Amino acid sequence: MNDFEYRDGVLHAENVSVADLAQRYGTPCYIYSRAGLTRQFRAFDEALSGIDHRVCFAVKANSNLAVLQVLARLGAGFDIVSGGELQRVLRAGGDPAKVVFSGVGKTRAEMQLALEAGIDCFNVESSFELHQLNEVAQRMGVRAPIALRVNPDVDPKTHPYISTGLKKNKFGVAIAEAESLYLEAATMAGIRIKGVASHIGSQLLDIAPLLDALDRVLALVDRLAARGIGLVHIDCGGGLGVRYKDEVAPDPADWAAAVKDRLRGRALRVITEPGRAISGNAGVLVTRVLGLKGGQSKAFAVVDAAMNDLLRPTLYQAWMEIVPVTPRSDVPACNVDVVGPVCETGDWLGQDRLLALKPGDLLAVRTAGAYGFVMASNYNTRARPVELLVDGDHVHVARARESFDDLIRGENLLP
């Protein structure tokens, strides 16, 4: 099911015309579907039914407060990678006892903030982090709950920028070194061992690497048990991919069935951290065509959205589907590069797209609900877009468009 469908020749977000939203709120704008977020969260939650589990949405995929609130009300946990993301979760009504804190560079201040909030677990990614966390916890008179994020050296077969489970990646503790670090952690007065974690990458289209990693981590669990270290949970990470073009995205139910099979007979809670797989297809970026420009060897559709609004295409050379909000039949389609106003040749949203366009037309970039607005910037002193959350017939302004005063807040002229 797609929550962005054509009705009477116009793209709709649930029951609301995208053209009407663009007219009312301006462009560029991000539009999210509450129904889409709900359905995808429940796909994971229901797939893991029958075993002790927790679905922790990866906040880095989409950190809008209203989006997090939708998920918190569904009972979601959250995977965070910064103190700021923790504060967003708390502001959105998320339960800190359902939060796992990942990331290779947690500061002492972030550690203290998370301990004060009472999060479920720190996914510790290095020996130095373990020692720092132990010191912070002892100073506060508490014990920090931890899992070691182990690096299983499994190739996820994805874009190198979002591969996280190989020896050459910065993430996690090498699985060959994890056992000795667990034994050291067991002696620390400020540490309480809870589990083990692994995350090998993002936009995975095959569950085989995930299961390979799981098998390696379970072997570690058994070795730890033999040394007297029992764990209460296993964090399988996230990373299931979505369809951008013609990919066949893994079904959460297939992944969950394989996980359940491997965990049969083990008293371990399963934690998973989907981000893109929950929010990706629940959002679009809408932009207006400013004009059409033909060169000797290339034609361009210049739009009002740019790489500062949506970085994925130029950063990852990512293909994202671009469709007209109101398809035309009165002009011929031609191949164009869809480009923005930013002063960079790399400022493009799509290349060689067959589109029938006139100036003023609206385009929608699909699957923009993950790693869209969260990666936006103010490059070229451009205001970040408005974010809208559609719920049936209702439209909620989840984040207002920035003003110029927003852009210069905190800056000061010389006396």
Give pLDDT tens digits for 367-404. Answer: 999 999 999 999 999 999 999 999 999 999 999 999 99
More confident residue, 89 or 202: 89
pLDDT at 3 over 80: yes
Beta bridge partners of 353: 336
* Axis crossing angle, helix 252-263 with helix 34-47, rounded to the nearest 10: 20
Cβ atoms of 200 and 210 within 8 Å: the answer is yes
Q: DSSP letter string over 181-234? A: HHHHHTT-TTEEEEEEE---BSSB--SHHHHHHHHHHHHHHHHHHHTT---SEE
pLDDT at 64 over 70: yes
Q: Which of 233, 251, 234 is nearest to 242 (CA)?
A: 251
Structure tokens at 209: 């690497």
pLDDT band at 162 (very low <50, low <70, confident <90, very high): very low
d(CA 45, CA 75): 9
Whether 4-32+280-408 and 34-276 share one fold: the answer is no
Residue 44: which H helix or E strand, with range? helix 34-47
Q: Which of 88, 5, 77 is nearest to 48 (CA)?
A: 77
- Sign of the C-alpha dihedral computed for residues 212, 213, 215 and 220 taken in this order: positive
Indicate the pTM of the whole model.
0.94
Cβ atoms of 289 and 321 within 8 Å: the answer is no
Q: Which of 367, 364, 378 is nearest to 309 (CA)?
A: 378
Cβ atoms of 333 and 370 within 8 Å: the answer is no
What CATH number was assigned to the domain covering residues 34-276?
3.20.20.10
Q: What is the percent of the chain with per-residue pLDDT over 70, rounded to a whole number? A: 95
Q: Which of 29, 56, 236, 343 is catalytic?
A: 343
Phi, psi of 192 (to 5 degrees): -125, 115
Give pLDDT tens digits for 186-228. Answer: 999 999 999 999 998 888 998 888 998 899 999 999 999 999 9
Q: How many helices (H) and strands (E) does the chain have?
A: 12, 21
What is the separation of C-alpha 338 from the centre of its chain, rounded to a whole number of angstroms?
25
Q: Is 31 helix (H, G, I), strand (E, B) or coil?
A: strand
Fold of 4-32+280-408: Lyase, Ornithine Decarboxylase; Chain A, domain 1 (2.40.37)
Give pLDDT tens digits for 292-324. Answer: 998 667 899 999 999 999 999 999 999 999 999
Domain boundaries, the chain: 4-32+280-408, 34-276
Is residue 343 among the annotated active site residues? yes
Q: Is 406 helix (H, G, I), strand (E, B) or coil?
A: helix
More confident residue, 67 or 265: 67
d(CA 382, CA 384): 6
Cβ atoms of 279 and 240 within 8 Å: the answer is no
> Whole-number mean pLDDT of the chain?
94
